[in-house]
Structure 1
Amino acid sequence: MAKHKHPEILSKSVVAQSRLFAIESLELRFSNGEERTYERMKPSHRGGVMIVPVTAEGDLLLIREYAAGTERYELGFPKGLIDPGETPEQAANRELKEEIGMGADKLLPLKQVVLAPSYFSSQMTLFLGQGLYPERLEGDEPEELEVVKWPLNQAEELLTHLDFCEARSITALMFALRALAEER
């Protein structure tokens, strides 16, 4: 397998800006002399977290939340951005408290993932959350999120559920199931 040298970045410029996003154009020169223009979301250097909460009774806790990208309500796991000064674990616990009204005594990091690395640089740390206890924090959602209990022993069926289709949630579930099997 050939080892590639990183392309030289000739220039960077913001070509479009919205309230939330900036699109950056990169002029690149590859080691073979080929030059190309790539576009990406400008890195924010803020990571994200997603948590697979599992109750002592053996239920997964999911949320049903409106997703503007698909223009429908999606079923997935609690998630959010890491605030400045927070560790991923602190952000994961805060998001749990904001989105499902529960904290976690145990947060097991499962994997760091990247969504569409050709266009985004943001990393998301996936966690398994256990030892849940009630505690609610005010979140920034425009409406109260529906919390959905799903029996852990029926997790395979969740994979076929029409509203459960976000790749990060599916990935988190698969890693959580593997971690839970290793605990037994």
Structure 2
Amino acid sequence: MSSKAKPRILHTELVASSRLFRVEQVHLQFSNGVERVYERMQGGNRGAVMVVPMLDEHTVLLVKEYAVGTETYELGFVKGLIDPGESVIEAANRELQEEAGFCAQTLTPLMEVALAPGYFSSKMQILLAQGLNPSKLEGDEPEPLELVPWPIEDLDGLLARPDFNESRAISALFLARKALKLS
């Protein structure tokens, strides 16, 4: 662990906002006296979940949905925001039911990850879902999501797909394989 003192925030200023994000300029002074202005995106402080659902001990369930950032359909895992008052486990099971039509008997937290912590404050909890049973809740997706079962042993085949490239999903896959004690 570093013993360096964190920079002192001299001033923050909101420079842009939308329904999802706030962009702030953060004026910092480092311990050596150097001052800099950084920008960061502040999302809601609710947090988010990503769920790696196991249909059986050898098959992971992926979802394919439209990603406006890349303007393509991307293959990944169930994910979404944690609603106010919801626990991580409750949010994971709700998202699993909304996006994939299953609830889990067991949800195991694997790791909290950050996406570009130099710019974003948001964190995501990754969970492994096992013991799936059919259970559908109405979600907020604009179109039905395509469900794609995939053998978890075929890591190379999944990583070779051009539509499976989100860093959090790749991290989730490796964390799930480690938790399942697969090589």
Structure 1 position 171, deviation (Å): 0.1
What residue is the counterpart of 1:139 in the other structure?
A: 139
Tell me the secondary structure at the aligned position of residue 55 of structure 1: strand
Q: Is the 8 A contact 2:20 2:44 kept in 1?
A: no
**Superposition TM-score, scaled by structure 1 size:** 0.95
For 2:56, the aligned partner's letter is: A
CA distance in 2, matches of 1:176, 1:156: 15
Q: Counterpart of 2:70?
A: 70
Distance in 1, Cα, partners of 2:2 & 2:26 = 24
1:49 is aligned to 2:49:
yes
Cα shift readout 1:3-60 (whole Å, capped 9, x = no counterpart): 2101111111110112222101111111111111010002421111001101126311
Task: Provide the residue aligned with 2:6 in structure 1.
Answer: 6
Corresponding residue SS for 1:37: strand
Distance 2:169 2:43 in 1: 22
- The equivalent residue for 1:80 is 80
Q: C-alpha separation between the residues in 2 aligned to 1:86 and 1:18?
A: 24
Distance 2:70 2:43 in 1: 23
Rounded to whole Å, the distance in 2 between the matches of 1:59 and 1:90 is 23
- Measured in 2, the distance between the counterparts of 1:53 and 1:2 equals 37
CA distance in 2, matches of 1:103, 1:167: 25
Q: Which residue of 2 aligns with 1:33?
A: 33
Distance 2:173 2:9 in 1: 37
Contact persistence 2:15–2:24 (CA under 8 A): yes
User: Over residues 110-149 of structure 1, what are the superposed CA-to-partner deviations in whole Å (9 max), with x where a residue is unaligned?
Assistant: 1100000001011101011000000000000111100111
- Number of residue pairs matched by the alignment: 183
Distance 1:24 1:166 in 2: 26
- Rounded Cα–Cα distance in structure 1 between residues aligned with 2:19 and 2:81: 16
4+ residue runs over 6 A deviation: none
Consecutive unaligned residues of structure 2, counting only runs of 5 or more, are none
Distance between the aligned counterparts of 2:161 and 2:32, measured in 1?
Answer: 47
Match of 2:107 in 1: 107
CA distance in 2, matches of 1:6, 1:43: 22
Query: For residues 177 and 20 of structure 1, do their structure 2 counterparts lie closer, same or farther at Cα, with a shift above 3 Å needed?
Result: same
Structure 2 distance, partners of 1:50, 1:22, is 23
Farther-moved stretch of structure 1 (11-20 vs 63-72)? 11-20
* Percent of residue pairs identical: 55
**How many angstroms apart in 1 are the aligned matches of 2:2 and 2:69?**
38
Q: Which consecutive unaligned segments of at least 5 residues does structure 1 have?
A: none
